[in-house]
Amino acid sequence: MESFRYYAPTEIRFGCGLLDELAEHVLGAKRVCVVTGMRSAEASGLKARIEKLLKNGRVEKIVFGAAPPNPPCAGVDEIASRAREAGCELVVGVGGGSAMDAAKGVAVAATNSTPIAQLVDAKWPNRALPLLLIPTTAGTGSEVNQYAILTDEAKHDKMNLHGPDTYPYFALLDPELTIGLPEALTVDTGVDAFSHAVEGYISRRATPLSDALALEAMRCIRHALPKVIADLTDLDARAKMLYAASVAGLVISQAGTTMVHALGYHLTLEHGVSHGRSNAALIGHGLDFNYDAVPEKIGRVYEIFGGSRDRSGVEALTAWLHELGVVTELRHYGVTEEELGAYCDYAMPKGNLKSSPRDVKAEELRGFLKKVL
């Protein structure tokens, strides 16, 4: 067996009702910045509940910030500026992937008086504020990994902010917080977790330990996600999805993602398709494209989803996605043949493309996109 490294410094607490323990885990901080989503936390009463819990825990100053989907760097800078002025000692991110990713950006920018867009792919001089993350969706796994996907509006591109101090020190997983999530968002986030598990499993950066976690996440998602969609109030199935999403988050913290994510960003930026659904639209096609490079691994993925281990097994996985309402043709999302050249040019420099098990050349990628149009 080859040598490998595994680093996951986040403490994970999982269980129903754990949000009530929030104040016990803020490291004695007296000034806290809380980053939420734009509307749901306030509408559901979660924002007020968190404020009460922190104040009862003797937090003296709370700075709230709201992050929209695909959080823009400018919005992160604005929240970070307020957190810096208030002397915040810790950042709590509560919500879906966008809120948690924005919280990571705020934690970095609050201690470094530099626009966050300039800190991507750079070593920031001052250590980020400690991060405590609370997911309310079962999707990105951001609560346990180092990645923050932010939108640089000036470049019209997705940026991946990450460093050793963008790992949260604590992840509080309370399945009760995912009850009430609407069906479309449940699917979008669930298939994002599915993509993380699958892509991390076939990645060139995969390790034996990340593979074990990926297989666990895939098996769990395969059965739990349809159950949640059949009954959005099924707390047991919701809990299994929240667990699986975090496990898949641990997978990509080690192994990263592949060409599927590199191509999915274009669908989000240019066609407004949610991140998770963008990945899900491409995942079956991506597995078929990479099959010959790692047939034993991809065959095992197919088997988990009820298919055969040979190349035809992709049909079972695609059928599972279709049952969830995911369309797997790019034309459905507004992609045209005329834009395929620009689409390919956008994806080719992406780092996660290089983690794909098969070497990807520009002409091959262009042909792939035309085939799945």
Tell me what pLDDT residue 113 has. Answer: 87
State which H helix or E strand residue 171 sits in: strand 170-173
d(CA 346, CA 341): 9
Tell me what pLDDT residue 121 has. Answer: 85
| Inter-CA distances, 289 with 174, 250, 294, 341, Å | 38, 25, 10, 19
pTM of this prediction? 0.96
Q: What is the dihedral of CA 286, 205, 198, 342, to 10 degrees?
A: -30
Do 140 and 97 meet the contact criterion of CB atoms below 8 Å apart?
A: yes
Do 135 and 173 meet the contact criterion of CB atoms below 8 Å apart?
A: yes
Tell me what pLDDT residue 122 has. Answer: 85
Tell me what pLDDT residue 88 has. Answer: 98
Please name every residue paired with 152 in a beta bridge, in sequence order, or none if there are none. 157
Q: What are the chain's domains? A: 11-178 (3.40.50.1970), 183-371 (1.20.1090.10)
Q: What φ, ψ does residue 27 adopt, rounded to 5°?
A: 60, 25
Please name every residue paired with 92 in a beta bridge, in sequence order, or none if there are none. 34, 132
- The closest alpha carbon to 259, from 236, 284, 230, belongs to 284
Q: How confident is the prediction along the chain (373 residues), in pLDDT tens digits per residue?
A: 889 999 999 999 999 999 999 999 999 999 999 999 988 899 899 999 999 999 999 999 999 999 999 999 999 999 999 999 999 999 999 999 999 999 999 999 999 989 999 999 889 999 999 999 999 999 999 999 999 999 999 999 999 999 999 999 999 999 999 999 999 999 999 999 999 999 999 999 999 999 999 999 999 999 999 999 999 999 999 999 999 999 999 999 999 999 999 999 999 999 999 999 999 999 999 999 999 999 999 999 999 999 999 999 999 999 999 999 999 999 999 999 999 999 999 999 999 999 999 999 999 999 999 999 9
| Inter-CA distances, 252 with 100, 160, 195, 247, 352, Å | 16, 13, 10, 9, 11
Tally of CB atoms within 10 A around 104: 33
Tally of CB atoms within 10 A around 5: 7
Tell me what pLDDT residue 1 has. Answer: 81
